[in-house]
Amino acid sequence: MNEVPSTLFFESVVRNEQRGFFLVDALAARFTYLSRDAWRQKILNGVVTLNGEVASPETIVQAKDKIVYRVDDYAEPEVPTHFETLYRDDDFLILSKPAGIPVHHTGRIFYNTFTGVVRRAFQNDEISPMHRLDRDTGGIMVLAMNADTLKRFEKSLEHILLRKLYLCVVRGSFPEGETVCELPLAEDPQHKIRIKMFPRENGKPCKTVFRKVAEFRENIGDIEAPFSVVEAELFTGRKHQIRAHLASLGHPIVGDKLYDFDGSFYLKLVEGPLSENDFRILGAHTQMLFAYRAQIAIPGKNSEWFMAANFPEEMRQVVQKIPQKWF
């Protein structure tokens, strides 16, 4: 069902600000992963059509024109495509996403996004996530089953998704009890990794509450013990909030390529795949962060706690050591 087809068609609509552009310039401005010369050659090779017709690079485009780009011998990295269904009705879908698959398309993955996998599984092209999780983060997500539900409830999601709790495996001995972190976060435009979030006075207000669950004195990969299992509850929903807060507290998440080791493994991944030795140094193939519990109030029904336990294997080996009474 999720085998990537060898030929894929990418569709786009010309934006209003690109009307009057040459076709080649509209593509080069919009899709910068190829150079202008590369797009020109694609058009000359006949793999780009405009409104269903083969066009020349100098064809003038108008707003709302339809461009289709055909890619032959298409391939993309393998990702986990299994998921757990926790709830389903005519309007809402609650699933547990596996770690390692992006919710939306990335520079390398267009077909096997989580959204695409779910739409194909339920044979419903209107299914849409109402929020997102990072590619390497697994766990509970709420999705709308149709466009009308998305439109009606997307901006009031806080009345549906009432509480979100995550389990994290972090480096070091985390403080006992409850730790409240309210460091404001923002990107640093001067930093070599532009997407990374840092505590900054002019950052967006954030609040995360951490509760220590357990501590273990066994190495994970090449990471020396101790390490801690921590529950994190979000009270704001900023980008990378849990990861950035934990790193700022001196307890980065095991397997976090961006917030541990000064982001060196994230930069390495940009250039190509990581090695098994890299993953041993990181401690895991995917970061040990999982949205495992959520209190959700489906409109017209009482709120209910949902729980997911399809942890990635490396994290599962840690979590299974936690005393069951804690759950």
The residues annotated as belonging to the active site are 134
Long-range contacts of 47-56 (CB under 8 A, 24+ apart): 47/71, 47/72, 48/23, 50/23, 55/23, 56/23
Tracing tokens 């995550």 back to the chain, one arrives at 166
- Give the pair of three-digit tokens for residue 49: 């059509």
Distance CA 170, CA 174 (A): 8
* Number of CB atoms found within 10 A of residue 168's CB: 26
Q: Give the pairing of strands 185-187 and 197-199.
A: antiparallel
DSSP single-letter state for residue 223? B
The secondary structure of 103-157, three-state, reads CCCCCCCCCCCHHHHHHHHHCCCCCEECCCCCCCCEEEEEEECCHHHHHHHHHHH
Alpha helical stretches, state H, 13-113: 23-30, 36-44
Amino acid at site 73 = D
The neighbouring-strand residues paired with 92 are 144
Residue environment code for 261-298, b if the CB has 16+ CB neighbours within 10 A, otherwise e? bebebbeeeeeeebeeebbebbbbbbbbbbbbbbebeb
Tracing tokens 């267009």 back to the chain, one arrives at 110
Helix (H, G, I), strand (E, B) or coil at 97: strand
